[in-house]
Amino acid sequence: MNENAAVKAWSKVVKFFALAAFCAFSVLFADHYYRVDKYAKDMSENLAITVFLNKNVNNSNDVASAIESLGYVNVNEYVSAEQSYYRAVKKNPFLKDVSVPGDKDSFAAYFKVSPNILPTDQFLIVVRNAMAQITGVNDVVYDADGYKKYIQAKRTLELYEKISLIFALTIFALFIIKILFLYYGNNVGAKKLSKDFVIYLLSAAAGFLAVWSAGIFVFYPLLIKEAAVFGIIAVTAALGIIFKD
């Protein structure tokens, strides 16, 4: 009898740490998701297609309307030739020291446009070729490598979201089934189930605190949001109920 009690006690300890480890791993996974998300957002702020205009364009609004009428992109900003020069000088002050009269005229006005869907390589080529045919457009340029990295990041996020959703729905369904089985099949009372669930919540919280503390210790603070932390802790506790004897 004592041996069985010792085995059960040891089993509970192992389960406590197993759930803590699972929660810690899930937190790291979610933190990676938020880091990729931040990376994608930072890239999106710097990525844009630049549409340079001919110097003889009299009405830039007509060109903007023609660009948007294609249905591929949104025009975000217009930069005049003069603004283009001063922006170049701001980035590289050396230009101001070596410039001569007439240098400003060598800069072209341009639009900054952004795709209205997640762009693929083929999509960007089609968009570039279509805009290049518009009267008044001189050249269309974009950072192909930057867009490739951005697309890869967005697709990684989509994959993570699908995996997380499927896993969460599966855990929820199994949790409900197990609760009904324990309550009606094994006559486990609601008080006992609630007590066990609280213990599993504490186990999951311990796993999160371990990862959070380790991140601070190594100067690598977590980016995961509070809502995600609470969700992971709840899912981990539900997993504890699912594997309850």
> Tens digits of per-residue pLDDT, 60-77?
899 999 999 999 999 999
User: Is it the case that residue 24 has pLDDT exceeding 90?
Assistant: yes
CA distance 161 to 33: 9
Instruction: List, in sequence order, every beta strand (DSSP E) within 25-72.
Output: 49-53
pLDDT, tens only, 86-137: 777 777 666 555 454 445 667 889 999 999 998 888 999 999 999 999 999 9
For residue 43, give the nearest of 125, 114, 121 by alpha carbon.
Answer: 114
| Residues 64 and 135 grouped into a single domain | yes
Last residue of some domain: 90, 119, 142?
Answer: 142
Specify whether 153 is located in the same domain as 222. Answer: yes
Q: What span, in angstroms and rounded, lies between the C-alpha atoms of 204 and 174?
A: 18
Domain ranges, residue 132:
50-142
pTM of the entire predicted model: 0.81
Domain endpoint, select from 112, 142, 172: 142
Question: 75 and 21, same structural domain?
Answer: no
Contacts of 22 (CB under 8 A, 6+ apart): 204, 207, 236, 239
Closest alpha carbon to 243 in 165, 166, 168, 179: 179
Residue at which a domain ends, from 102, 122, 142: 142
Given a cut of 90, is residue 58 above it in pLDDT? no
Question: Which stretch of 38-47, 112-121, 187-196 has the lowest confidence by average pLDDT?
Answer: 187-196
157 and 222 together in one domain: yes
CB count within 10 Å of CB 66 equals: 15
CATH code of the domain covering residue 94: 3.30.70.3040
Nearest to 24 by CA among 200, 236, 241: 236
